[in-house]
């Protein structure tokens, strides 16, 4: 807890708001975002491109955190967004994201979802497979219209990350395979289709990636592909989309490069490769989700019971858990915890922070170094802004937490806490 903001009262502060005050006002569990932090990260991503003088687009991967207020915030910051379902598309539009800045991803977009995207006239559909081309073509024929598409390929790269979030390898379920020539056939098909305007290519090698090397390899493969396609099909890409996946810091052990530096390394490679290949410079797109939302939020919980079996185990239980953060259970993801009232208190015990769900795997932090806790203490877990709320569930009929945006000492409730009645909204009697 050495990098957290601490106010004069000695309490954790988020966006200038005392965390204990937040808890009084909104209860726990509550996910609190530092809005400045989101804005600063966005600025850094943009600056990398602007410094390099490159045409670009930063597209927020909204699966990381898809609240209406978040779409509004990123839209106001000039970003586009990527959506991966009709639900996200619906939310993005409601949140005020201009349709022309929306791109649609997914390996099994439903015909109804494609139709919705066509009706909304979104910026582009990232075409993933042959079936999708067929579905989309039918829809465009029926509606007598056309749409921009970007072709997603699996470049055949193994990213160094958890296998569940690695997506660029040949056996990935996403995108057209490059190595077997599938991508060539897809391009040919798209070029023959008068209703789809092929604007470029896309790849995404995985998520939570720290080594820039994987991205550089992706750049090389993609430029190689573009060069081949230029010769073979006389196809010039207007867009080269390199996906998201920029690693972020969850614990002290994580040392990601700052977004601007990471992006700059990628950009330098792109410039060099494109120049060597003697291709016109395409617009470079990136799709960070976690890097924009992740480190910006801290989840606050209330400590309840504990269980100590001397020499065997020490559990501290909080009023949330796998329902608001499934990542430790699903990916063995690591987090840190500290007390909001005394962020820098001495570590007096090593405990396992668990939730209230009826699962032994309902663990938030293993080996948390904490001062002795008491019921009612407020426990803070930082870096919970991405893939927390969006992967939340109502398991055990626990309501989803409240979410607040904090900035300049003010807190704004952006998602209210679910009620028991909310959870029965779809139940019929």
Q: Is 420 annotated as belonging to a binding site?
A: no
Please, which residue, 242 or 339, has the CB nearer to ligand LLP?
242
Consult the annotation and say whether 289 binds a ligand.
Answer: yes
Q: Which of 203, 313, 358, 406 is catalytic?
A: 358
Q: Which is nearer to ligand LLP, 161 or 398 (CB)?
A: 161
Per-residue b/e over 123-150, b at no fewer than 16 CB within 10 Å?
A: bbbbbbbeebbebbbebbeeeeeebbbb
In angstroms, give the least distance from the CB of 288 to ligand LLP. 4
Q: Which two tokens stand for residue 228?
A: 């081949």
Q: How far is the CB of 296 from ligand LLP (least distance, A)?
A: 13
Task: Name the residues that contact ligand LLP, by CB under 6 A.
Answer: 61, 64, 82, 105, 165, 167, 204, 207-208, 243-246, 287-291, 327, 331, 386-387
CB of 243 to ligand LLP, least distance (A): 5
Query: Nearest approach, Cβ of 10 to ligand LLP (angstroms)?
Result: 32
CA 212 – CA 157 distance, rounded (Å): 13
The nearer residue to ligand LLP, 246 or 389, going by C-beta atoms, is: 246
Between 44 and 195, CB nearer to ligand LLP: 44
Instruction: Give the shortest CB-197-to-ligand LLP separation in angstroms.
Output: 20
Q: What is the largest CA-CA distance in the chain?
A: 72
Question: Which residue number, 388 or 399, has a Cβ lying nearer to ligand LLP?
Answer: 388
Buried b (16+ CB within 10 A) or exposed e, 162-195: eeebbbbbeebebbbbbeeebbbebbebbeebeb
**Least distance to ligand LLP from the beta carbon of 205, Å?**
10
Residue that the structure tokens 């007598």 belong to: 144
Cβ-based nearer residue to ligand LLP, 89 or 291: 291
Separation CA 312–CA 414 (nearest Å): 42
- Which pairing describes strands 378-382 and 338-339: parallel, antiparallel, or unpaired? antiparallel
- Is 287 annotated as a binding-site member? yes
Q: Is 387 annotated as a binding residue?
A: yes
* 358 among known catalytic residues: yes
Q: Which of 25, 63, 58 is nearest to 42 (CA)?
A: 58
Q: Is 175 known as a binding-site position?
A: no
Closest by CA position to 194, among listed 143, 255, 243, 145 = 145
Closest CA to 364 of 13, 10, 4, 29: 29
Q: Is 146 annotated as ligand-binding?
A: no
Q: State the nearest-atom distance from the C-beta of 152 to ligand LLP, in Å.
A: 8
- What CA–CA distance (Å, rounded) separates 390 from 65? 6
Cβ closest to ligand LLP, residue 246 vs residue 301: 246
> Which is nearer to ligand LLP, 64 or 337 (by Cβ)?
64
Q: In the complex, what is the shortest distance from the CB of residue 151 to ligand LLP, in angstroms, rounded to a whole number?
A: 13
Catalytic residues: 358
Q: Please report, in range form, the residues annotated as the binding site for substrate.
A: 290, 327, 331, 359, 387
Q: Please report, in range form, the residues annotated as the binding site.
A: 245, 287-290, 327, 331, 359, 387
Q: Please report, in range form, the residues annotated as the binding site for pyridoxal 5'-phosphate.
A: 245, 287-290, 387
């Amino acid at each position: 807890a050495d990098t957290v903001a601490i106010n004069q009262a000695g309490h954790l502060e988020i966006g200038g708001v005392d965390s204990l005050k937040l808890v009084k006002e909104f209860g726990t569990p509550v996910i609190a975002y530092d809005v400045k932090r989101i804005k600063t990260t966005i600025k850094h991503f943009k600056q990398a491109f602007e410094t390099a003088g490159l045409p670009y687009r930063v597209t927020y991967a909204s699966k990381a955190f898809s609240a209406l207020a978040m779409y509004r915030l990123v839209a106001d910051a000039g970003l586009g967004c990527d959506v991966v379902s009709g639900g996200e598309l619906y939310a993005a539009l409601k949140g005020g994201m201009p349709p022309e800045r929306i791109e649609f991803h997914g390996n099994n977009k439903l015909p109804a979802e494609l139709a919705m995207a066509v009706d909304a006239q979104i910026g582009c559909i990232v075409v993933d497979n042959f079936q999708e081309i067929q579905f989309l073509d039918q829809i465009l024929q029926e509606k007598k219209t056309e749409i921009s598409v970007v072709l997603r390929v699996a470049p055949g790269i193994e990213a160094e990350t958890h296998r569940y979030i690695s997506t660029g390898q040949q056996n990935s379920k996403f995108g057209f395979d490059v190595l077997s020539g599938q991508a060539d056939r897809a391009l040919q098909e798209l070029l023959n289709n008068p209703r789809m305007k092929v604007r470029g290519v896309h790849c995404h090698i995985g998520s939570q990636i720290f080594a820039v090397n994987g991205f550089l390899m992706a750049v090389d493969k993609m430029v190689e592909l573009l060069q081949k396609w230029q010769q073979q099909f006389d196809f010039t890409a207007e867009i080269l989309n390199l996906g998201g996946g920029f690693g972020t810091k969850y614990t002290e052990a994580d040392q990601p490069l700052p977004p601007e530096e990471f992006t700059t390394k990628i950009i330098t490679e792109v410039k060099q490769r494109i120049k060597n290949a003697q291709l016109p410079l395409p617009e470079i797109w990136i799709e960070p989700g976690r890097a924009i939302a992740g480190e910006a939020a801290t989840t606050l919980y209330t400590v309840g019971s504990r269980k100590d079996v001397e020499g065997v185990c020490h559990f501290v239980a909080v009023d949330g858990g796998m329902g608001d953060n499934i990542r430790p259970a699903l990916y063995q993801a690591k987090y840190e915890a500290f007390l909001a009232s005394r962020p820098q208190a001495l570590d007096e015990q090593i405990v396992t922070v668990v939730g209230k769900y009826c699962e032994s795997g309902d663990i938030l932090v293993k080996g948390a170094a904490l001062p002795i806790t008491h019921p009612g203490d407020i426990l803070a877990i930082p870096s919970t802004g991405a893939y927390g709320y969006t992967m939340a569930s109502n398991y055990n009929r626990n309501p989803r937490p409240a979410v607040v945006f904090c900035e300049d000492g003010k807190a704004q409730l952006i998602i209210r806490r679910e009620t028991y009645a909310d959870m029965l909204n779809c139940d019929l009697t």
